[in-house]
Amino acid sequence: MNFRKMAKLSSVALIMATAANAENVLKWTSQGDALTMDPHSQNESPTIAFNGQIYEALVARDIEMNLVPELAESWTASPDGWTFKLRKGVTFHDGADFTAEDVVFSFNRALEESSDYKEQVKTVSNIEVIDDYTVKLVTAGANPILPNTLTNVYMMDSGWAKANGVERPQDFAAEEETFSVRNSNGTGPFMLTSRAPEELSVLTRNKSWWGDAMYPGNVDRIEYRPIKNAATRVAALLSGEVDFVLDAPLQDLKRIEATEGLTTKTVAQVRSIFFGMDQSLDELRSSNVKGANPFRDIKVREAFNLAIDKDAIQRVVMDGLSFPTGIITPPGVLGNTPELDKQYGFDLDKAKSLMAEAGYSDGFEIQLDCPNNRYNNDEKICQAAVAMLAKIGVKVNLDAIPKAQHFPKIQKRVSDFYMLGWGVSTLDSHYVFTYLFDGEGSWNGIGYNNARVNEITKLIETETDIPKRTALIDEAWHIIKKDMPYLPIHHQVLGWSMKDNVDVPIAADDHLRPRYVVFK
């Protein structure tokens, strides 16, 4: 769509907005716009959420994060893969039928070199078309959690993609933008009517959506306007210009709740915040301890754990909006149990004696690397930790920097002591083990390498006996809980704000799901 057409359409949309008052128009805002309309190009949460209104996957998550049918009606496991029965009578927005051929095409597209969803689908070695409405995703061995990893792998129409030359997602070295960056053709409940990136995107209800009668949502049109500045975003809600703000600052929630006609909702997010302590080196880079790595001593790690008062962080820094924890995976993820979730506790005396036992009664010096624009109050949490660790004699030098500089430090393994948060999109502990605990994990910046945990990480990839698999996960978490390689702080809390004439059910993955949004 060119700009002239877009401008026309948006002015038409504006006229319609003033003409038809009976329409339920959801005007909402959040910090950042979707980066692209291409469903396989960017594995980024706001982009996934936005495109999830237009495109659909075989399976989806409902508001409570349960796995529910979307384009597949049912699925069954076998030792060499999963068979999906597709929903019949589904059409794309341009009218084309959704069939097995589109599933094959979409998976192959997601497997392309330039796709950002390769990791989600990499275990799929082949896709067999059994009939027009049955496909089998063949895996190299059993994969018990394959459906969990497919909720963000959206289905495209093969005919549309070919006609517009977008059989592959755009790669970074491309010369020109491709058609699918600004245009879309999904099967979802909303169709993209107009889009001016970073300004306004208008979506209209897909009247022939398969789920029309099954979901309570009564939104006819969505107008999404990103607002980067947090104070401006809140102002737009207070002035009544928008109905819903996804990401108002946590410290503003009380004021919004106290405003007449507005309300807020909170939920525990599927993201845990923790500190990493590098145990891979013989000598830390930023410490004054020479010839030894204090983090290799479990007594030091335990002392750090006991010296940081997570309840105080919750109370003072987070305004009550966090869930202190002892495990870096939140409730709702398979593997989290109330017992594991219990924090290590706060015991300054014991921490001091542990430090003395380890031979650091006078403490030591170390640098803490921390992002300042990624997590809720990230820098303030680190500042609190600095003060708390000072009480056991550890002099912490804080380096709080933007995320674009912080994360490469962990990736390049050059940080001794760092803050990180981890969200679990599959809601299964495997996603935590394989990235954070496995000896080869790409985000394992601490050099943790426990043979049994590595083994379990491999075993649960193929173990289909669910009770047995759950027991393995539990075993790994108990080893980790004892080893304390990381220092868990809390699970984050999400806060959504809205007018009280609209019910926007909050979801722990921070994705707006308009099919559940009801204007009263």
Partner 1 sequence: MAPLLLAGLMFYFIINRLAQALLVMAVVSAISFSLFNFVGDPVNNMVGQDATREQRVEIRQQLGLDDPILVQYQRFMLNVAQGDFGLSYRIKQPVSQLILEKLPATLELVFASAVIAVFLGIVLGVFTGIRRYSWVSKTIMSVSLIGVSLPTFIIGIGLIYLFAVYLRWLPSSGRAGVIEIGGWKTSLLTIDGWRSIILPAITLSLFQLTMILRLVRAEMLEVMRSDYIKFAKARGLANRAIHFGHALRNTLVPVITIIGLNIGGLIAYSVITETVFQWPGTGLMFIQAVDFVDVPIMAAYLIFVALLFVVINLIVDILYFVVDPRIRRGGS
Residues that bind partner 1 (CB under 8 A): 3-4, 7, 10-11, 32, 35-36, 41-44, 116-120, 170-177, 181, 196-200, 225-229, 231-232, 235-236, 238-241, 373, 402-405, 407-408, 411, 422-423, 425, 435, 442-443
Minimum CB distance to partner 1, residue 197 (Å): 6
What tokens were used for 349? 């005396």
Distance (Å, whole) CA 480 – CA 427 = 18
Minimum CB distance to partner 1, residue 14 (Å): 8
Partners of 262 in beta bridges:
499
Q: Which is nearer to partner 1, 152 or 322 (CB)?
A: 152
Minimum CB distance to partner 1, residue 337 (Å): 25
Q: Which is nearer to partner 1, 205 or 233 (CB)?
A: 233
Minimum CB distance to partner 1, residue 232 (Å): 5
Distance (Å, whole) CA 451 – CA 94 = 53
Other CB atoms within a 10 A radius of the CB of residue 288 amount to 10
- Alpha helices by DSSP H, 239-288: 253-258
Q: Which is nearer to partner 1, 37 or 384 (CB)?
A: 37
Minimum CB distance to partner 1, residue 73 (Å): 28
With 0-12 CB in 10 A as exposed, 13-18 as middle and 19+ as buried, what is 81? buried
DSSP-derived 3-state class of residue 108: helix
Which amino acid does the sequence have at 239? S
Q: Which is nearer to partner 1, 198 or 339 (CB)?
A: 198
Minimum CB distance to partner 1, residue 116 (Å): 5
Minimum CB distance to partner 1, residue 225 (Å): 6
Q: 236 near 29, Cβ under 8 Å?
A: yes
DSSP-derived 3-state class of residue 179: helix
Q: Which is nearer to partner 1, 133 or 274 (CB)?
A: 274
Distance (Å, whole) CA 426 – CA 121 = 12
Minimum CB distance to partner 1, residue 115 (Å): 10
Q: 409 near 415, Cβ under 8 Å?
A: yes
Q: Which is nearer to partner 1, 222 or 351 (CB)?
A: 222
Q: Which is nearer to partner 1, 119 or 257 (CB)?
A: 119
* Size of the chain in residues: 520
DSSP-derived 3-state class of residue 35: coil
Q: Which is nearer to partner 1, 32 or 69 (CB)?
A: 32
What are φ and ψ of residue 7, in 5° steps? Answer: -60, -40
Q: Which is nearer to partner 1, 243 or 302 (CB)?
A: 243
Pick from 447, 494, 442, 491: which is nearest to 327 by CA? 491
Partners of 519 in beta bridges:
502
Tokens 């349960």, residue located:
66
What are φ and ψ of residue 372, in 5° steps? Answer: -120, 10
Distance (Å, whole) CA 308 – CA 396 = 13
Minimum CB distance to partner 1, residue 127 (Å): 21
Cα radius of gyration (the chain): 24
3-state helix, strand, coil in the chain (%, to 5): 30, 25, 45
Minimum CB distance to partner 1, residue 356 (Å): 39
Give the DSSP H/E element, type plus range, for residue 235. Answer: helix 230-238
- Alpha helices by DSSP H, 271-361: 298-307, 310-312, 338-341, 348-357
Q: Which is nearer to partner 1, 48 or 392 (CB)?
A: 48
Minimum CB distance to partner 1, residue 348 (Å): 35
Measured distance between the N- and C-terminal CA atoms of the chain, rounded to whole angstroms? 35
Q: Which is nearer to partner 1, 287 or 444 (CB)?
A: 444
